[in-house]
Structure 1
């Protein structure tokens, strides 16, 4: 049997470039252990030429943010007819836009914290102070303020005092033109990965996130020791089932494929509150998908090798 060649795409030009490079290195090393031939490529201006001249059997996307998650790279790979692991371009766009994804999930009966999404122009046209006051009146405090697009909690912060809200908005708008403000939910933060490495998609064991500072921000995500992970999560079986059902439902409703990760909070009443869905989960040493895979008894390389095979078989 001819050895398959897989191109791992990592890097790119988003704010999450360094995290993506770490994910890419780990994924490439894991895939090599399975016997696959692996090349590591940056997502830059040379990419299309490389694909045309070296044409891998499949592409594994380890890009975070920007073109790697908003459907751009996926659309280019489709244009070139190259099989890839991950969600199709149109569904990537739905998941990438957090307010759109939240609205779709809410219409389907899933629970997500109450929110409002406002572009930068709204604050200029109607007066920042008045808009922020209305936001607090409607949603209350504390608030989670974050960009409407992007990942790794960049630009995201909890606002507990109304006086801190303007500065939080300015910080958030450095990463996107639209702010998503949602009611901050007190509870147990959990991530649930969905993988389609067999006949049907399945949810891996939930990972409970216990950040030392109480908020799972960028520092807590990528600083070794800053966060304690419990997998399986320290939750009762019924809640675990509810989390996994929610992850599978979101994966299907949004049209996701191969692999995704649901971020949620189990609130004080035991309800699953969906925060967002990620189409390109992190694969670094402190990321949640590898932790869940290990708890499930599967090596990261074996998991992705199975996903690569699925991509090759479907041909796109």
Structure 2
């Protein structure tokens, strides 16, 4: 097939997108496809024409555009099939405040939060005890994220984040370890337990994308019942948001045995150190197999 590989864009996650696209490009060539690279930052106005000239689009954008559903809506308008979720599901999942409401409405446990549509007054204080996490409402890759340990750090953190982000959410610190679980088609993959390897207090951008920045243990060494619960919650969140093809749900697993769903990613990372390819490998799918399966699911969704 002639495949349009869409990556880059203009979000803060541009470099992550481009890095992942390199491996996807190579995999598509190994699978026998011809590939045209398309970067919306340089040629957004040409996307519809390019889509019409290709049999399939593979999207590897992170943040907005990409995970916000805009590109998916454009591709759908010219009936160009693509992997992953439709525009509506993408939009709902990217917006953390909105998706958390949907999680609660479907009985899924998620951390409490406050939504900040604009920079609050100097008198404002979070309703949670310190430390708190303040992060972009629509960002990812742990960019646009600040851990605020005490009140004296609050103003500077808000100023720095609102300088680059238009919306934020505030969450309390939840003690525990991070667990992530992918969904592929209609099955939940083996979860991964994530431990920052360098003493970081949370799984930040460097830990995610620097080789050796974290210990990623797959399958996660969790009690069987917890593994089953993680997988069940990941599937339920995927379906509650109306997603298709694949997704990845991130959790905190607390010492008391409770799980807290943080967010669901509709375009999970596809770099050499990414999580979902590791989970696919645990069930016997190579990276090329995973790419082929995503194309298969995308074509089926178009029918």
| Structure 1 residue 84 corresponds to structure 2 residue 82 | yes
Instruction: Report the counterpart of residue 100 of structure 1 in structure 2.
Output: 98
Instruction: Report the counterpart of residue 110 of structure 1 in structure 2.
Output: 108
- The whole-number CA distance in structure 2 between the counterparts of 1:231 and 1:40 is 32
Deviations 1:272-305 (A, max 9, x none): 1001111110111221111111222101221221
Instruction: Report the counterpart of residue 228 of structure 1 in structure 2.
Output: 215
5+ residue gaps in structure 2? Answer: none
Q: 2:28 aligns with which of 20, 27, 31?
A: 31
Instruction: Report the counterpart of residue 131 of structure 1 in structure 2.
Output: 124
- The whole-number CA distance in structure 2 between the counterparts of 1:270 and 1:175 is 36
- The whole-number CA distance in structure 1 between the counterparts of 2:171 and 2:112 is 6
- Secondary structure of the 1:139 match is coil
- Cα deviation for residue 119 of structure 1 reads 1.8
**Residues 11 and 18, structure 1, Cα contact 8 Å, conserved in 2:** yes
Deviations 1:83-102 (A, max 9, x none): 11111111111111100000
Instruction: Report the counterpart of residue 118 of structure 2 in structure 1.
Output: 120
5+ residue gaps in structure 1? Answer: none
Q: Residues 47 and 173 of structure 1: is their aligned pair in 2 closer, same or farther, counting only changes over 3 Å?
A: closer
- Cα deviation for residue 49 of structure 1 reads 3.4
Instruction: Report the counterpart of residue 131 of structure 2 in structure 1.
Output: 142
**Residues 60 and 267, structure 2, Cα contact 8 Å, conserved in 1:** yes
- Secondary structure of the 2:161 match is helix
Aligned counterparts, 1:44-83, within 5 A: 44=41, 46-47=43-44, 49=46, 52=49, 55-83=53-81
- Cα deviation for residue 109 of structure 1 reads 1.1
- Number of residue pairs matched by the alignment: 300
Q: Residues 83 and 225 of structure 1: is their aligned pair in 2 closer, same or farther, counting only changes over 3 Å?
A: same
Instruction: Report the counterpart of residue 165 of structure 1 in structure 2.
Output: 154
Q: 40-49 or 148-157, which moves further after superposition?
A: 40-49
- Secondary structure of the 1:264 match is strand
- Cα deviation for residue 45 of structure 1 reads 5.0
Q: 2:38 aligns with which of 36, 41, 55?
A: 41
Aligned counterparts, 1:248-259, within 5 A: 248-259=235-246
Instruction: Report the counterpart of residue 264 of structure 1 in structure 2.
Output: 251
- The whole-number CA distance in structure 2 between the counterparts of 1:220 and 1:174 is 24
- The whole-number CA distance in structure 2 between the counterparts of 1:106 and 1:191 is 19
- The whole-number CA distance in structure 2 between the counterparts of 1:72 and 1:50 is 11
- Cα deviation for residue 180 of structure 1 reads 0.4
- Measured on the aligned residues, the alpha-carbon RMSD in Å equals 1.6
**Residues 48 and 74, structure 2, Cα contact 8 Å, conserved in 1:** no
- Cα deviation for residue 315 of structure 1 reads 2.7
Instruction: Report the counterpart of residue 232 of structure 2 in structure 1.
Output: 245
